[in-house]
């Protein structure tokens, strides 16, 4: 097991040091150069309406797109990734939003919400879960309450880059969050915010003209 771990670390190091930079230069020359300053940039911050978010990108999809482009977000990319590999939904009609609304808007205790109860049940059955214990679960949701209180007090989401949700753009301008950050999207909606800062993810080549609107605060 130790040898496998060392091998994986060496591969990862090689990817970060050599593969991604080379792949990024090649991808940019073919897909970004023609658009000049209008092309997306890695690490670019955009402003989105949280209610416009309707898709979720899973971690394995993000990793695959990074391997294809060399970019850790902020890249133009054609193909059908926005159709075949994205889970679309009405964000405000599914969890975690429903449970967040019950707690932050309706005033229910977290323990009364479906999402929290589902985690407790999984932990009770010994199933794989985001949390190691009910105590860890409780602690995480207490942290979310603190963050939400700050959002309400300031009437805005944090613009610190480490706090930003990654948002990608589909060909039809649908917004896609992920891999992570779903609770922050819930916070923005529950707080009634029309705009929230986000880290630009991948942008479908057909959506290049929609970037201008996202760059406007």
- In this prediction, residues 182-193 reach a mean pLDDT of 98
Average pLDDT, the chain: 94
Predicted pLDDT of residue 18: 75
pLDDT at site 6: 74
pLDDT tens sequence across 58-70: 999 999 999 999 9
| Percent of the chain whose predicted confidence (pLDDT) is above 90 | 89
Averaged pLDDT for residues 143-163: 97
Enumerate the domain spans of the chain.
Answer: 2-110+158-215
For the residues 5-34, what does the mean pLDDT come to? 83
Q: In the structure, what pLDDT confidence band is assigned to residue 11 with cuts at 50, 70 and 90?
A: low
Q: Is 160 helix (H, G, I), strand (E, B) or coil?
A: coil
pLDDT at 76 over 90: yes
What are 170-181's pLDDT values in tens digits?
999 999 999 999
**What percentage of the chain carries pLDDT values higher than 70?**
95
What pLDDT sits at residue 17? 74
pLDDT, residue 110, reads: 98
pLDDT of residue 13: 61
- Over range 126-135, report the average pLDDT: 94
């Amino acid at each position: 097991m130790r040898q496998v771990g060392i091998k994986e670390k060496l591969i990862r190091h090689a990817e970060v040091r050599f593969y991604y930079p080379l792949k990024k230069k090649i991808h940019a020359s073919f897909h970004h150069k023609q658009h000049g300053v209008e092309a997306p940039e890695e690490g670019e911050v955009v402003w989105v309406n949280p209610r416009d978010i309707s898709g979720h990108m899973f971690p394995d999809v993000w990793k695959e797109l990074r391997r294809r482009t060399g970019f850790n977000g902020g890249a133009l990319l054609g193909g059908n990734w926005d159709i075949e590999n994205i889970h679309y939904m009405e964000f405000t009609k599914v969890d975690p939003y429903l449970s967040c609304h019950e707690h932050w808007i309706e005033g229910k205790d977290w323990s009364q919400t479906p999402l929290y109860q589902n985690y407790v049940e999984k932990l009770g059955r010994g199933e794989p879960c985001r949390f190691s214990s009910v105590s860890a679960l409780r602690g995480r949701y207490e942290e979310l309450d603190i963050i939400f209180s700050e959002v309400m007090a300031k009437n805005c989401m944090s613009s610190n880059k480490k706090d930003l949700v990654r948002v990608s753009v589909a060909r039809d301008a649908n917004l896609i969050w992920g891999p992570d950050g779903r609770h922050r999207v819930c916070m923005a909606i529950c707080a009634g915010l029309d705009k929230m800062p986000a880290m630009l993810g991948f942008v479908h080549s057909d959506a290049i003209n929609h970037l201008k609107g996202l760059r406007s605060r």
